Amino acid sequence: MQATMNKRILVTGGAGFVGSNICARLLEQGHHVVCMDNFSTGAEQNVAALLDNARFSLLRQDITQAIAVDVDQIYNLACPASPIHYQADPIGTLKTNVVGALNILELSRQRNIPVLQASTSEVYGDPHVHPQSESYWGNVNPIGPRACYDEGKRSAETLFFDYRRQFGLPVKVARIFNTYGPRMHPSDGRVVANFVVQALSGRDLTIYGDGTQTRSFCYVDDLVAGLIAMMNSGPEVTGPLNLGNPEEFTIRELADIVLELTNSSSRIVHQPLPTDDPRQRLPDIAKARRLLGWAPTIRLREGLVRTIAYFETVVAKQSLVTAYVSDPSVPR
């Protein structure tokens, strides 16, 4: 542990869901953290509690602009991660993935420092192989509505490994599977946030398709531990490495668990499945187990209890704001 202390670390997308959790964990470990975010989807409240820490600094900047900061490591998490957000500006999403990766890699090359790319299980598309291992090249629609994210992340991986081959850069690529937990955006359209907020608000839970499609859900603390372990692994560990929870659930099973844990009387309704939505998603994490000694420890129910507790506060605040707007006599 001592060898990894007292570093100055850049976290791009650091005000986002995963990024803010990484910032908090790195500060706990004694590092200095530079959080860079343009706040297109990141939230100031995600890092509000960190602002008083003398080892934390906030840089408001878009990753598509040239970056000049004095750091020892880089975690690149700058990109909208939910379909609602990344499809709202598909060209911007693609630029964030490709131009942003180039800017980060150039900073890494100038300083000769390790850089970790937060890639995604979406590089596998709607897979023909189950579970998905890192050797699978994927089944991605390059011109569909999700391509700005899927192909953007695939292109970023290409850039990272080309920089390694051409310049010997110390790169690392992690493929992140479905992750949930505190600091998720309540309206980002991802299934755990959707279900929990809908259940707590007494609204219908929306399942897209028949609910038999599967996902694996990794609690954010486990993911953060995996990302930090990968960053601090030896230079021979470049990835790509799958980081996710190898327990598989159908979307209907997830909905039933959320209803049970929230004691909600919400109904389940069905909507058409979005274009190119994967039918199955399950990581093979054998490489991460072997190379990092990492595996998730938090089971879905335990993680959901923690997540529900977080969203209970969020939903309560939203209800108070709504009440205040409609009746100014309601106390703030």
Catalytic residues: 149
Q: What are the phi and psi torsion angles at 8 (to 5°)?
A: -105, 120
Classify 290 in phi/psi space as left (phi over 0), alpha (psi -120 to 50) or beta. Answer: alpha
Nearest one of 238, 229, 208, 234 to 289, comparing CA atoms:
229
User: Is cis: bond before 131, omega within 30 of 0?
Assistant: yes
Polymer length of the chain: 332
| Alpha carbon separation from 159 to 20, 136, 286 (Å, rounded) | 25, 19, 25
Pairing status of strand 249-250 against strand 214-215: antiparallel
Give the three-class secondary structure for 116.
strand
CB atoms within 10 A of CB 93: 23
Half-sphere exposure of 68 (CA within 13 A, CB side): 1
